Structure 1
Amino acid sequence: MRRAFSRRKALPILAFTFATALWGGSAALWAAGENTQPDLLSLGGSVTEIVYALGQQHRLVARDTTSVFPPEAADLPDVGYLRALSAEGVLSVSPALIISEEGAGPPETIELLQTASVPFVTVPETYTAQGVVDKILAVGKALDVEPKAQELAHNVGRKLDAAQHAATQSGIPKRVLFILSTNGGRILASGTGTAADGIIKMAGAVNALVEFEGYKPVTDEAVSAAAPDVILMMDRRGDHATSNEELLALPAITTTPAAKSQSVVRMDGLYLLGFGPRTAQAVTDLNTALYGG
């Protein structure tokens, strides 16, 4: 028992020592004037997109797994998944600045990074047009390129307003059920307060499930009662992807209007749910997929 306790106590101390050593090297270069711009680590696909849209990609030293657009971002070192980061992985690229989407974790990793004195900027996440604008402005401020960010935010905001206005002309709003996964035939779906809920509303439709917040498993009865006109999913590839035939044959879905009309829409996950610079076009594309055009 005594040995196990000592080992547990030693792990954070070793990690802290490792973090401090790496940060100390970056700080020394910065103080000596040898590092004229921050070595930027971007965490979150939308943040990385904004960095590129602001023309600041030359400052990137690494990115996380969700940062897959633009395609050239894949050439950067990958420090891991946004919500399952390790301090060692993050600090191995010696960042002098980290800009992250809200929700990065786990909490102990973020605490350790902050203890190591690496500037860590969290960009708030709100699943609205204004949320996209605010995100752009926040990234621009963190990078000290506020005039560029204001120009980009203005242009993106104007496109978002136009896309949403066009979406309101679509007629009777369709009921859309966003399904995150169907592992083992069990449906994990979106309630309110999610990126899926936000994009569905912006595209002129309504979320079929509003009885809960976040993403939760739902019963067959709940799906049937929701009576979705359309099923919306991320476009996934690979052996574990569920085909439209398999999806519409699930007992929970087979009785719905969506199954009767064979209405399934699939879109790239980051494009659909990222709430970054491409969101206005995502709103237009989703509206077209839902209503035609």
Structure 2
Amino acid sequence: MVEHRPLPAALRRRDWLAAAAGGLGVALVGPSARAAAAPRLLSAGGSITELVYRLGAGGQLLATDSTSLFPAEAARLPKLGYHRALSAEGLLAQRADLLLASADAGPPQVLDQVQAAGLRVLRGVPGHGFAALQSQIGWLAAALGRPAEGRQLAGFIEAERARLAAAIRPGPVAPRVLFVLSHAAGNVQVAGSGTAAQTLIELAGGRNALQGVQGYRPLSAEAAVAAAPDWILGTLQGLDALGGVPALLARPGLALTPAGRAGRVLAFDALLMLGHGPRLPQAIEQLARGLGTLA
């Protein structure tokens, strides 16, 4: 089976990387020994790829999945396809030592197949927000044998979390935000609870306008009107797919909402907003500024 060994949350910060490394069987080594034994890597998941670069191991990557578009070096690497629809042939053809896969990468049978063929597979930590990000940093720093880089990045992320928590002021009533996912014109969905979109909205001082729904659901005129969002939030890629803001507001019910009538639409890069990787503080700050919740 695919290895998935999340870090124990109760570990003290100074111990967590060493403990995780022991759990994964990864030796924490110095720079010279690390360079000599650096594994050839594949990454399946945009936020995983970003973290590999932030931890200083981007030069070990042979290929990444199609969502790995940041930084620019990652976008130029050979692509393995969409991280949820990987193929055994494509993975094994890279002759890598280690596949670093996001928690939702798959299909699971493909990951099991390539591991049986000799490609080591490590699965990331599920979840969204700062706690999941810190666990992801610890897991990956241990897997790459880069504890110092992991501690430095974790400290930066914690400082940014504290700064934003103090700076975001939602006011007496948090703005209601409806996230619309529209990367294909014929498949427009809205985000409910348990999604990366809702977590980001809440961290930015907003409130998800779509209540009582788990995950994503197709957009309907009735649901849009009932949600009554103050803001409609989307991705830049989604707006491009639909043909711009006017085309988005022409979708069922959106023009009849408070946000639609006022033309209040925000859009950001999809990976920045939904990846919940090392740029999570940047995504929160940009959204909070757009919503007017940043002091």
**TM tier, smaller:** 0.7 to 0.9
Seen in structure 2, the aligned counterparts of structure 1 residues 184 and 150 have a Cα distance that, compared at 3 Å, is closer
SS of residue paired to 1:275:
coil
Corresponding position of 2:18: none
TM-score, structure 1 as length reference: 0.83
Q: Which has the larger radius of gyration?
A: 1
Residue 101 of structure 2 corresponds to 100
Q: Which residue of 2 aligns with 1:250?
A: 251
Identify which range, 57-66 or 156-165, moves more after superposition: 156-165
Alpha-carbon spacing, 1:193–1:59, altered in 2? closer, same or farther (3 Å): same
Separation (CA, whole Å) in 2 of partners of 1:129 and 1:122: 18
Trace 1:125-274 onto structure 2 (pairs within 5 A): 125-181=126-182, 187-236=188-237, 240-274=241-275
Bigger RCO of structures 1 and 2 (CA < 8 A, at least 6 apart): 2
Q: Residue in 2 aligned with 1:23?
A: none
Deviation at 1:161, TM superposition (A): 2.4
| Secondary structure in structure 1 of the residue aligned to 2:254 | coil
Matched, 1:41 2:42: yes
> Residues of 2 paired with 1:239 and 1:155: CA distance?
33
CA contact (8 A) 1:97 1:119 kept: yes
Q: Partner of 2:173: helix, strand, or coil? A: coil
1:26 maps to: none
User: Secondary structure at the residue paired with 2:63?
Assistant: strand
1:163 positional shift: 1.5
The share of aligned pairs that are identical, in percent, is: 38
Compared with structure 1, are the counterparts of its residues 202 and 41 closer, same or farther at alpha carbon in structure 2 (3 Å cutoff)?
Answer: same
**Deviation by residue 1:61-94 (Cα, 9 ceiling, x = unmatched):** 1111111100111222111110111000011111
What is the Cα deviation at residue 43 of structure 1?
A: 1.1
| Alpha-carbon distance between aligned partners in 1 of 2:166 and 2:266, rounded to the nearest angstrom | 21
Unmatched 5+ residue regions in structure 1?
Answer: 1-33
* SS in structure 1 of the partner of residue 106 of structure 2: coil
Contact 1:64–1:80 (CA under 8 A) maintained in structure 2: yes
- Structure 1 stretches of 4+ with a deviation exceeding 6 A read none
Contact 2:67 2:82 in 1 (8 A): yes
Q: What are the ranges of 5 or more consecutive residues in structure 2 without an aligned counterpart?
A: 1-34
Cα root mean square deviation, aligned: 2.1
> What does residue 4 of structure 2 align with?
none
**1:193-252 CA distance string (max 9 Å, x none):** 111011001000010112111111132111111101100001017973332112223341
